[in-house]
Amino acid sequence: MNRIQSLKINNFKFFRDENPIEFNDNNLLLYGENGSGKSSIYWSLYTLFEASLKSNDNDIKKYFSKIIRIEDNLINIHAQENPIGSDDYNSYIELITTDNPSKTFKISKNDTLINTNIDAKQTNYASDFINYRMLSSISAFRHSDKIDLFWVFVADIFKYVQFPRVQITRNGVLKQITNAAEIWQEIEQGHEVVDSVNSTNPKKIKAYKGSNEYKEFDVLVNSFNDSLKKLIDYINVQAPNFFQKLGYTFPFYLSLEKEAGYYKGKTVYEPVPFVLRIIIPEYDTQTQSVYKPHSFLNEAKLSAIAISIRLAILSSKRLENCLKFIVLDDLLISLDMKNREKVLELLMSDEFVNNYQLIILTHDKMFYQMAKYKISLLEQENWVYYELHEKKDGLTTRPDIKKNRSYVEKAEDFLNDNQLDESANNLRKAAEAFCKKFLSKTDTITEDYSSLDLNGMIVKCKNFALKNEINEAPFEELDKYRKFFLNSSSHDDIDNAKFKTEIEECLNLFKSYFELVKIRNVLAVGTKLHFEMNDKKTSKPFRFDIIIDENTKLYKETGSDSILLRGKTIYNILQGHTIIKENQAKHQSLKVFYENVFSTSDQSSNPDFWEGIKFTDTGLPLNSIRLF
């Protein structure tokens, strides 16, 4: 999947000549305090790809010029014109992709070719930009009014939607259009202007009824309405599914109360907007009880409806082989933490994280920390984390953006600065983090439910590695460094030169081994598996039904095959429909379990446990979860 490599924002909005934001193929989670320039990132991406839809170059240049329309410029207020009188402030937005070779999308006063770039147009159509303002627009109606989503669709949705191709003639040139926003603009403009006929006083009029131009326009309007109905039908199927995933069960649907149309005279034309309602047919067992959703529902439920509609539309336009991303700017500020977590779980599900690059921006530090924790639980490693603050620069301010570094990266930085205690402390934290990732939760606590110290966890790791036929040497070496300097209380007694050498060696151990190891939870508690074999003596078939009783992990060292680590299982043995043994417990790897049974069978089954063990629900082999 094509993804963003880097984004350079130069003298645009709050950004000056800051270094590029490095994505490096990852999703991005960014915390930015208010006033730090967080929303400048959102608007730079939005402006960059919206420019692909602008046919007039000046509608792109105006953001980087103080001459075209000074009130529209988005140049950083501290940017200097160079040379004087040139209207050149070195203001631009530039995005580089991970394609091979990479693609560059750039707009500035002198770079406007993006409006002829098919790749940029596809990215704009395939991506989505969602912020709080867009979500709140669903409830921005007076109590005396009904919700009408006309302006929501025209302002925030149509530009990302493709309809079947339509055509219309303008000034003698045939235009073919697929973008819903552009088609609506043609409806707003009305019939083609033509010369009047059968008149002693010829003049320009809107195309008269019966003319080719009139018929062509009617076809366009009818096609627009048909496409809009199909889009609404699709939303009404998909949006409730997303709504349920967000934890809500009451039904809703969109209803096209009135189609788009127009009023036309000889010289007068007026488009008639479509009317689009949100209908809630039943709420809390009561039918036809909610007439005005924006007055009845709280903000969390209204936001959930809006998010469900946006995600349904996004799912309708899956394009392959183009850059696709979802940008969320303070999307969830109106929701409590429980509802925020539901939205995060939905966005971080395979459906979205495997198809889009996610860019989540927030000014809420608690939400930022919760999102990081959620990502760690999901074991999604393709994320990069940034924090953005406002810093003083003489008498002015500018963004200060810093990437969150891993413990190992921090340890190396502190080592280079000769801050040895800090370097050692971060290596200790890195060791603790790896042990917790390698071991099960129960193996990191004592009998009285207190947390094991690093010494206890390394002992557990060595034993666990031995039982899983994993090389113990890295853990033995880590234990050596623990005894020497990884205990925080031992630093004062260490010779400084020797201390530094040991830190360097420990750092190399992490970079050459522990940082390269891949560990992933692949079998959750409750997962049902089975395999079948024939008895060696009688050739009668028997079946093992297995239930995973402890989250089971996949472990991969560089240069070695991945290993499914041992864990707790409960199993039954059946012959036909008769249970021979019930609720038997095992604490060993599935590989050893399977191979022990295989050795006592007639060996007619597949000898490879990855292929022989099946998921009971799907019938897929265990090998289907072998991610690396």
The predicted-structure confidence for 122-167, as pLDDT tens digits, reads as follows: 999 899 998 877 777 776 666 667 878 999 999 889 988 999 999 9
332 touches 340 (CB < 8 A) = yes
- Please choose, from the candidates 424, 420, 419, the residue with its C-alpha nearest in 3D space to the C-alpha of residue 408: 424
Domain of 566, in residue numbers: 521-625
Residue 105 is predicted with a pLDDT of: 98
Same domain, 434 and 507: yes
Residue 44 pLDDT more than 70? yes
Q: Are 330 and 132 in contact (CB under 8 A)?
A: yes
Count H helices, E strands: the chain? 19, 27
* Closest-CA residue to 326 (of 628, 614, 36, 45): 45
Predicted pLDDT of residue 58:
96
Looking at the structure, tell me whether residues 174 and 206 fall in a common domain. Answer: yes
Using DSSP, state whether 221 is helix, strand or coil.
helix
| Residue 501 and residue 411 in one domain | yes
Residues 615 and 485 in one domain: no
The answer to whether residues 507 and 604 belong to one domain is no
pLDDT at 331: 72
Residues 546-593: tens digit of each pLDDT: 999 999 999 999 999 999 999 999 999 999 889 999 999 999 999 999
Q: What is the separation of C-alpha 108 from the centre of its chain, rounded to a whole number of angstroms?
A: 28
Rounded CA separation 185/190 (Å): 9
Residues 312 and 327 in one domain: no
For residue 156, the domain's CATH number is: 1.20.1050
CATH number for the domain that contains residue 81: 3.40.50
Check whether residue 191 and residue 307 sit in a common domain: yes
Higher pLDDT, 289 or 137: 137
- The reply to whether 173 and 248 lie within a common domain is yes
When pLDDT is averaged across residues 253-274 and rounded to a whole number, the result is 88
- Cα separation, 179 vs 121, in Å, equals 10
296 torsion bin: left (phi>0), alpha (psi -120 to 50), beta (else): alpha
Summarize the confidence of residues 529-539 as an average pLDDT. 94
**Least confident span in 147-156, 186-195, 227-236:** 186-195
The pLDDT value given to residue 252: 92
| Residue 577 CA, distance from chain mean position | 46
> Can you state the angle between helices 420-438 and 454-467, rounded to 10 degrees?
40
Residue 246 CB partners (closer than 8 Å, separation 6+): 304, 307, 308, 339, 342, 343, 346
Residue 262 pLDDT more than 80? yes
Give the CA dihedral 590, 592, 594, 595, nearest 10 degrees.
160
Rounded Cα distance between 152 and 621, Å, is: 47
pLDDT in tens, 56-72: 999 999 999 999 999 99
Say if residue 78 is in the same domain as residue 149. Answer: no
Residues 115 and 194 in one domain: no
Give the three-class secondary structure for 334.
coil
Q: Which residues contact 48 (CB under 8 A, 6 or more apart)?
A: 93, 95, 105, 107, 114, 120
Q: Is the pLDDT of residue 214 over 80?
A: yes
Domain boundary among the residues 498, 516, 534 is at 516
Total tally of structural domains belonging to the chain: 4
CA 276 to chain centre: 29
Q: What is the rounded CA–CA span in Å between residue 481 and residue 455?
A: 11
pLDDT at 407 (0 to 100): 93
Closest Cα to residue 590, out of 616, 614, 624, 561? 614
| Average pLDDT, integer, range 88-104 | 96
Q: What is the mean pLDDT of the chain?
A: 90
> What is the average per-residue pLDDT within 485-511?
77
Say how far apart CA 444 and CA 428 lie, in whole Å: 15
- Residue 196's pLDDT is 65
3-state secondary structure of 141: coil
The domain boundary residue, chosen from 373, 404, 435: 404
Last residue of a domain, one of 516, 531, 547: 516
Does the global pTM surpass 0.75?
Answer: yes
Do residues 117 and 170 share a domain?
no
User: Residue 524's pLDDT band (boundaries 50, 70, 90)?
Assistant: very high
Classify the C-alpha dihedral 208-213-215-216 as positive or negative.
negative
Residues 123 and 27 in one domain: yes
DSSP assignment letter at 525:
T
Q: Is the pLDDT of residue 221 over 70?
A: yes
Q: What is the pLDDT of residues 443-490, one digit of tens each?
A: 898 888 888 899 999 999 999 999 999 999 999 999 999 887 776 545
Residue 194 has what pLDDT?
A: 66
Burial 55-84 (b: 16+ CB within 10 A, else e): eeeebbbbbbbbebeeeebbbbeebeeeee
